[in-house]
Amino acid sequence: MSAPAGDTACKPALPRTILLTGASGYVGGRLLGLLLQAGHRVRCLARKPEYLAARVPDGAEIVGGDVLHPESLTEAMRDCDAAYYLVHSMGSAGSFEDEDRRGASNFAAAAAAAGLGRIVYLGGLGDESEQLSAHLRSRHEVGRLLAATGVPVVEFRASVVIGSGSLSFELVRALVERLPVMITPSWVSAEAQPIAIDDLLAYLLAALDVDTDGARVFEIGGADVVSYADIMAEYARQRGLRRTMIPVPLLTPRLSSLWLGLVTPVYARVGRKLIASIEHRTVVRSGDAARVFSIKPMGFREAVAAALGSDDREAAQTRWSDAISAGGTVRNWSGVRFGNRLVDSRSITVEAEPAAAFAAIARIGGKRGWYHADWLWKLRGLMDLMVGGIGIRRGRRDAEILRVGDTVDWWRVEAFEPARRLRLVAEMKLPGRAWLDFEVDEAGPGRSRIRQTAIFDPVGLAGLAYWYAVAPFHNYVFGGMLEALAAAAREPEKD
């Protein structure tokens, strides 16, 4: 990874105390480890500290807080020298522009009050003289708001990020791997300047040492200007796949987002915002980054090769869909009046040790599926996707290993006790809150009891109507799944 240039614009790196937002996300999760390796003290701001605890390396501190709640930022910023702002609300079900605006304003005010030395922010490329998408306009506005209170800000504006696990790369991967013939809308021809994840991280690290008294904006990108179609063609070439692309000019962002949701991990809400941004030309127009930093970004072919070559290693790190914000999932239920909690609980005793019984449970979802009535799970995922939810495309980070905060299709791991308990919280669109809980206990020598519990907190009549509408399917879906889990526990899968 390149170091910052040795001219008057940069100074030698010194250990600092860094506040890192977005540590559960794709970029932030990778940046965290590099900051620690560089000797910095890192404090991670997390809305759900328990989700992040299983992900961070030793040495990182986790504090609870939310940029939308300014009172939580005061203690988080205490004694910090600098902060990374890697927050966005693209997965929000509400007005993401308003949430981005509020979050940036709160953060800037808290940073000024704490005497923070600088903020490093990652935004998006785009010519402000053009009619940009709401997402890109919001990205630029956030940069201005962060600098509004006088705290020095280093803002990077980047286009497509290529790396295993990034939203853009996983979109390309899913399309090319699954579709021998692709009907491609016009947005696949828009020009971009993709940057490899390693080069992006190099810029973010070097930003701590750039001399700045105010706000500086750096446009960054790789060595090549290409389109999404070019990236897909290169991916297919390196994977040895024959693919045909048929352009279709008349495909609205909404229809395109639904199409993406059917064949990729991208769900409709994020898909619409992503496509609206992809349609714009996002290329580097300023040479400031090349003059200030000694980083020499690789071309897109090298970036694709690096992403493919590191798939096994990256699979154990971060994915865009693992970020809590990716599902717009941290819903504020304050003030919501729930009805009576509804429970569907059933158990089965199986001739297997508890570890074997739990191993079957821990493999649930993703490519393995849900053991029974997978077609109904997929149908429910499609229904969720059609109303702007996340669907069932997120899968799992790892086929065997789970940790708190991981995504499992439209669920997220809320509690995990090895060989004993798994609790999933639903992130689909629902008129209430839902959990799916599995517990395993010893039931005698060589025997285990698996208890499976579906829990629903309905909101109003809509919540009650939803529960009783799906209740007739519970015996078939949940009963069949429990029987299949028992069978899997008795006959463990072979490696």
pLDDT tens column, 366-378: 888 999 988 888 8
pLDDT tens, residue by residue, 118-148? 999 999 888 876 777 777 888 899 999 999 9
pLDDT tens, residue by residue, 313-334? 444 355 545 555 444 444 554 4
Q: Where are the beta strands (DSSP E) in 271-369?
A: 342-350
Taking the C-alpha atoms of residue 40 and residue 201, their distance in angstroms, rounded to an integer, is 15
DSSP 244: E
CATH 3.40.50.720 boundaries in the chain: 17-326
pLDDT > 70? residue 275: no
Helix (H, G, I), strand (E, B) or coil at 459: strand
CATH 3.30.530.20 boundaries in the chain: 334-490
Residues 6+ apart with CB under 8 A from 456: 341, 342, 343, 430, 432, 433, 434, 435, 463, 467
Taking the C-alpha atoms of residue 487 and residue 495, their distance in angstroms, rounded to an integer, is 17
pLDDT tens, residue by residue, 168-204? 887 788 778 878 887 777 778 888 999 999 999 999 9
Indicate the pLDDT class of residue 341, thresholds 50, 70 and 90: confident
What number of other Cβ atoms are within 10 A of residue 55's Cβ? 22
Q: In degrees rounded to 5, what are phi and psi of residue 472?
A: -60, -20
- Cα–Cα nearest to 469, from 456, 485, 452, 483: 456
What number of other Cβ atoms are within 10 A of residue 315's Cβ? 13
Which H or E run includes 53? helix 49-53
Q: What is the CATH number of domain 334-490?
A: 3.30.530.20
Fold of 17-326: Rossmann fold (3.40.50)
Helix (H, G, I), strand (E, B) or coil at 452: strand
